[in-house]
Amino acid sequence: MEDTLHYTFSTIPQVLAAIIALLGVFWVFKITHLNNQLKTHAEILNLNEIRKNLIEQFNVNGTQVTSLKSGLHSAIILENFKWIYDVICQIDKAGSNKVITDVRMKYEDIDKEKTELTSNTKLVLKLSGIQIVLSVGFLILVPVIYSICYLPYIVMIPNLIFFLLIILLTIRTILRALQVKKLVT
């Protein structure tokens, strides 16, 4: 039984480290994919549509429109999606332009998906860190744990249940990262 405890508490951190690495790969893949969608939507915006809206809504002159266009191009190149979204919201206050409203709504959907994926990934990382620390701590205490009659089971069973819950949450997060929603029209 003592060997079983050693193997269990030394294997759990190794498996979690591998799963964290795998989750990181899928997280980077999905965030990159979502950023590419944001970039595509920013490029979809018809700059003439924006120019027309700016002139109508804000009575801006041609110099300000040119400045906004160059700022939008720079933001697309630098992938400053927050700035692009703020401009879209400012232009779409009335919600009268269907193209701009659609792009704003798609930006919000993509941002929601990024936020959810990031929060799930952070949760997995935190829980995995707790589990690794517990496993290493228990690994150090195996001789003491083993010397008390039912303590190995009392320690190992909740630890394994917690480990399995982390695995299930990680699998769910990875599967969500693999889902590709067709948001580009």
Residue 110 lies in a domain: yes
Residue 184 included in any domain: no
The answer as to whether 106 is a domain residue is: yes
Report if residue 26 sits inside a domain. Answer: yes
Q: Tell me, yes or no, whether 56 lies in a domain.
A: yes
* Any domain includes 185: no
Q: How many domains does the chain have?
A: 1
The answer on pLDDT for 32 being more than 70 is: yes
Q: What is the pTM assigned to this prediction?
A: 0.74
DSSP the chain: -HHHHHHHHHHHHHHHHHHHHHHHHHHHHHHHHHHHHHHHHHHHS-HHHHHHHHHHHH---HHHHHHHHHHHHHHHHHT-HHHHHHHHHHHTSS---HHHHHHHHHHHHHHHHHHHHHHHHHHHHHHHHHHHHHHHHHHHTHHHHHHSSSHHHHHHHHHHHHHHHHHHHHHHHHHHHH-------
Of residues 9 and 63, the one with the higher pLDDT is 9
- Which residues constitute the domain of residue 21? 2-178
Whether residue 138 lies inside any domain: the answer is yes
Does residue 126 surpass a pLDDT of 90? Answer: yes
Which pLDDT belongs to residue 118?
A: 93
Query: In this structure, is residue 183 part of a structural domain?
Result: no
Does position 147 have pLDDT exceeding 90, yes or no?
no
